[in-house]
Chain A
């Protein structure tokens, strides 16, 4: 899992991180950032479009941390996008 993927995800998460918490790979997207279930799905939609991949809701429900999501993104990105 590359730092680049994590950084890109953190950037996409910014508009949803209304309490301006510090973000790391270990941050739990829903619990730590106090983001409700609908906002998590909206955020994942941004991630899907940014990386041009599909992340089904079934996968979202098993993804807790930013690191988990980065791993999903990398597994689903055919060619890893460089910043």
Chain B
């Protein structure tokens, strides 16, 4: 008999090596949450700089109250799918309010953002169609593409010229074409050059989807994401987003103006064959989306914090993931072992950042990835910069 676990021997070895270098970076526990930017980890009060909690909204009193009320009124869970017993007035209300916020005719909510991508890719594209996806796409996009059964063509990251070339190679084939990009890329923090892709639509004629997971609530004068920032919302056919970051809850959405958009509800397995989000999560999402609309100062604070961290790291001479400030600030490290060692030194010094290693990163990069929150104050940001200076620069000099 071949043991099914044999194939994971490599992972086991790599994991064991990580443990010899310090604590389990993949199993860290927040023993107590003190604020959106502070938690007790391994008995130490730690600055959180890797939460994706961009608006710092997770402990907002109004959102908590909304969740508590919804749980008391509608119960702990929905025990069913949206197309069976799991549609509550709250889900319908969240979809309506999100559509209004996004200025889109239609919006469908999912139980997670991961499922939103699975659902949208597989609902939009089928075996006769082609999906062109950016090479740095999030795993949920890759998995959704696989689920769709469509032909999958990967283009070079943020390179519309490369996409142009690849589209030309498959010119004249039957089936529709879907191009998938992200507003802010989750690992390196860079934005898609949206205008270039929109220009290309005129030449090739395709439908464009933007995953605004990290940019929803964050970018643009109205917080609607990259297309809002770029003033190109009419040219983006479909938007995907998540509630797990700027909204501080759990769930995801797909939105668009297509007259047949609602039929996707009956064509997306990741929407149909799973239970809908819990009433508490939906209610907190509604409250949080209202705050995204009503409190633009949160975005301004996030922008100021992001710029401060970015400039601070730049002044240290760190090798950064991209050359524009964004709430995702990634630092490139030499190799896996030094990255793990530095991550441990940061944790011991009282700051949590994400560790990101291949194949979860593009181009085999080893990253210490920070995400900034509107709830950080400048003292937090300066402390993170100082600790990176101490740990990362010291390591590089050693």
A 43-75 to B, binary, CB cutoff 8 A, 1 in contact else 0? 001001000111011100000000000000000
Contact count band on A? 10 to 19
Q: Is the CB of B364 within 8 A of A54?
A: no
Q: Is the CB of A56 within 8 A of B153?
A: yes
* Residues A13-48 near B (CB distance < 8 A): 36-39, 41-42, 45, 48
**Do A45 and B169 contact each other (CB < 8 Å), given the known contacts A36-B358, A57-B152?**
no
Q: Which residues of B contact A57 (CB under 8 A)?
A: 145, 152-154
Q: Is the CB of B364 within 8 A of A56?
A: no
Q: How far is the CA of A36 from the CA of B359 in the complex (A)?
A: 6
Q: Is the CB of B151 within 8 A of A58?
A: yes
Expressed in whole angstroms, the minimum distance between the Cβ of A72 and any Cβ of chain B is 14
Q: Is the CB of B169 within 8 A of A56?
A: no
* Number of A-B residue pairs at CB separation under 8 A: 34
Contact count band on B? 10 to 19
Expressed in whole angstroms, the minimum distance between the Cβ of B134 and any Cβ of chain A is 12
- The residue in chain A whose Cβ has the minimal distance to the Cβ of B142 is A57
Q: Which residues of A contact B145 (CB under 8 A)?
A: 57
Q: How far is the CA of A63 from the CA of B358 in the complex (A)?
A: 22
Q: Which residues of A contact B358 (CB under 8 A)?
A: 36, 38-39
* Residues B122-176 near A (CB distance < 8 A): 130, 135, 145, 151-154, 156, 166, 169-170
Q: Is the CB of B169 within 8 A of A58?
A: no
Q: How far is the CA of A13 from the CA of B145 in the complex (A)?
A: 26
Expressed in whole angstroms, the minimum distance between the Cβ of B260 and any Cβ of chain A is 26
Q: Which residues of B contact A (CB under 8 A)?
A: 130, 135, 145, 151-154, 156, 166, 169-170, 358-359, 362-364
Q: Which residues of A contact B (CB under 8 A)?
A: 36-39, 41-42, 45, 48, 52-54, 56-58
8 A-B pairs with C-beta separation under 8 A? A36-B358, A39-B359, A45-B156, A52-B169, A53-B169, A56-B130, A57-B145, A58-B152
